[in-house]
Amino acid sequence: MATTFKTLNSANDVTSTRTLLHEAIPLTGTIASGTYTDDNIKTYSHGMFESVYDYPYLSSSANHIFDITTGYASNSALSGAASIQNSKKLNIYSQMAQVLVGYDATGSIQSFDRDGDIASGGDKINEAIFVNFSRLLTKDEMKKGSFTMSVMTGGAPETVSDVMTIADHGAADAYKVNSPAGEYGILYSGSAATAGEEVGLVYYQAGVVVLTGSVFAASQLGNGDLVDTGYSAMATGSNIEMMADSFRNRLQNVSFNNTVELNSTVYFCRASHNEFNYSNNPTYLSDSQIRVKNSTTDNPVSYVTTVGLYSSDNELLAVAKLSEPLKKDPSTEVTLRVRLDF
């Protein structure tokens, strides 16, 4: 039988799979602090955040790595007309909280919570530093339990004495789901998920890290590498760009694994013993004789090189190529596994 097309049975010949692929993303502090004399740091006229690139940002080969900004809640003690860029800092906090935390029953924007128990009214993060990683790095999401960040917290950057390692300990199993932006984990300053050592949040699908401003107590934060002061004095006396510079110069290392969700449809293309033993290729015949037969009594033979997937109206949708021709004759049956990844 000279079979050319065969209908696939959706129940027996088609299946779907889901695979999670992970890639390690290490970022050194030299990139954040300005590897190219700050040519890889892009600032904006609006002054609401700054962007970090892996090369000078004017280069065509530069890749956007992350953005840094900061803000505080309207009920923060730092909020006031005397604070520099007060309205912008309020707007940034509100915008981030609106997207990542959402609204309460009264329609008010909720504040970030240290332990993720938003409804309990516990210890809130009213002053925060935000690090928004690019989709180029995070892909579909950041892998839970893989995030670490090393931040210098004591003294000026050139005379630093204290380095705090922040990580989402235990988040692979104990992550939170009460966010409109997806799943998130708690960041701890210690070596384990210990109550009282919560210093921030990491939103895995959004690719955003929220650090409490209290990580930098008095004499632990400054303008770039010039001034030693605490977050509170910095937040009220400096603009957002200066605060982003200050945090960036104290960022030693960041590492995490990203996640790519690979959804696949697998088609099992089966050829029984009496199917696909002939070819439609014009070179298959010579003077009405099959080239691959030595005599008229030989079995027909074909060599499979390509599989085409067609729609119900005979439209070619996908083509799969074999690495080498596969011999097919009436004494053999073949099953070819064709996978389409999305």
The token pair at 168 is 């989402």
Same domain, 253 and 213: yes
Residue 134 lies in a domain: yes
CA distance 11 to 109: 48
Residue 267 lies in a domain: no
Strand partners, 268: 337
The token pair at 262 is 């690979």
* Residue 88 neighbours by CB under 8 Å, 6+ apart: 47, 48, 71, 240
Which of the pair, 138 or 282, is modelled with greater confidence?
138
Same domain, 236 and 298: no
CA distance 108 to 103: 5
Residue 94 lies in a domain: yes
Whether residue 195 has pLDDT greater than 90: no
Whether residue 290 has pLDDT greater than 60: yes
Which of the pair, 97 or 117, is modelled with greater confidence?
97
Whether residue 296 has pLDDT greater than 90: no
CB-count burial class (<10 Å; 0-12, 13-18, 19+) for 284: middle
* The pLDDT of residue 161: 60
CA distance 301 to 239: 78
* The pLDDT of residue 51: 95
Percentage of the chain beyond pLDDT 70 is: 88
Same domain, 111 and 215: yes
Mean pLDDT rounded to a whole number for the chain: 87
Q: Write the pLDDT tens digit of every residue in 176-185.
A: 999 999 999 9
Residue 262 lies in a domain: no
Tally of structural domains, the chain: 2
Work out whether strand 141-142 and strand 208-212 pair parallel, antiparallel, or are unpaired.
unpaired
3-class SS of residue 113: strand
Same domain, 240 and 283: no
Same domain, 237 and 279: no
Q: Write the pLDDT tens digit of every residue in 215-274.
A: 876 444 444 433 345 678 778 888 999 999 888 888 889 999 999 999 999 999 999 999
Same domain, 245 and 288: no
Which of 229, 257, 285 is the last residue before a domain boundary? 257
Which of the pair, 164 or 14, is modelled with greater confidence?
14
Residue 145 lies in a domain: yes
3-class SS of residue 4: coil
Is 37:57 a contact under the CB 8 Å cutoff? no
Same domain, 71 and 189: yes
Work out whether strand 251-271 and strand 148-154 pair parallel, antiparallel, or are unpaired.
antiparallel
* The pLDDT of residue 2: 61
Which of 257, 282, 315 is the last residue before a domain boundary? 257
- What's the pTM value of the predicted model, to 2 decimals? 0.81
The token pair at 162 is 């204290």
Q: Write the pLDDT tens digit of every residue in 31-84.
A: 776 666 678 999 999 999 999 999 899 999 999 999 999 999 999 988 988 889
Q: What is the DSSP track for 223-244?
A: STTT--B-HHHHHHHS-HHHHH
The token pair at 305 is 């090189």
How far lies 286's CA from each of 3, 138, 280, 330, in Å?
20, 58, 13, 21
Is 133:65 a contact under the CB 8 Å cutoff? yes
Same domain, 117 and 181: yes
Domain enclosing residue 194, as ranges: 23-257
* The pLDDT of residue 277: 85
* The pLDDT of residue 225: 36
Residue 12 lies in a domain: no
Q: Once rounded to an integer, what is the mean pLDDT over residues 18-33?
A: 86
